[in-house]
């Protein structure tokens, strides 16, 4: 990600703690998922909910944090939401986060496709403007 930032000419700013300031990069992104470890390293906070709220002050996109067996927490219109992970006996967790992100991205793409295909039948509204706000959140995309 840092290489992509450099290649696009985005500045490598750091905050007072020396952490990379990703706000400039994230300004063009519609959703940010972070592992709890990445969120803590980025914000300097041990509380993932407080970390999400801190990021929300700088970013105007969908924000979520994954925490392995503890599930996922996200902000929905400023409100913290949480979905616990399913209880499983893990044999190997390698790739579990990748599988989560892939499944979320697929569900989001399918949801957006449905909304944009449905949009012409809503009386002239465009895309997501035609969708009631409560339907466009992580819980909808996650099922």
Q: What percent of the chain has pLDDT over 70?
A: 62
Question: How far is residue 115's CA from residue 124's CA, in Å, rounded to a whole number?
Answer: 13
Question: Please, what is the end-to-end C-alpha distance for the chain in angstroms?
Answer: 29
* Sequential DSSP letters for 82-140: EEPPPP---S--TTHHHHHHHHHHHHHHHHHHHHHHHGGGSSS--GGGGS-GGGSSHHH
Predicted pLDDT at 21: 64
pTM confidence score: 0.63
Q: What percent of the chain has pLDDT over 90?
A: 27
The mean predicted confidence, pLDDT, of the chain is 76
Query: Residue 11: pLDDT above 90?
Result: no
Q: In the chain, helix, strand, coil percent, each to 5?
A: 50, 15, 35
Where does the pLDDT of residue 113 fall: very low under 50, low under 70, confident under 90, or very high at 90 and above? confident
């Amino acid at each position: 990600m840092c290489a992509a930032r450099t290649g696009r000419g985005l500045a490598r700013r750091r905050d007072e703690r020396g952490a990379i300031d990703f706000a400039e990069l994230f300004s063009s992104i519609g959703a940010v998922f972070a592992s709890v470890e990445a969120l803590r390293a980025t914000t300097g906070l041990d509380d993932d909910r407080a970390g999400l709220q801190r990021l929300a002050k700088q970013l105007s996109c969908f924000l979520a944090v994954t925490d392995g067996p503890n599930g996922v927490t996200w902000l929905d219109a400023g409100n913290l939401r949480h979905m616990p992970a399913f209880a499983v006996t893990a044999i190997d967790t390698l790739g579990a986060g990748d599988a989560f992100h892939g499944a979320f991205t697929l569900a989001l793409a399918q949801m957006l496709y449905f909304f944009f295909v449905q949009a012409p039948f809503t009386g002239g509204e465009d895309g997501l403007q035609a969708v009631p706000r409560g339907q466009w959140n992580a819980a909808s995309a996650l099922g």
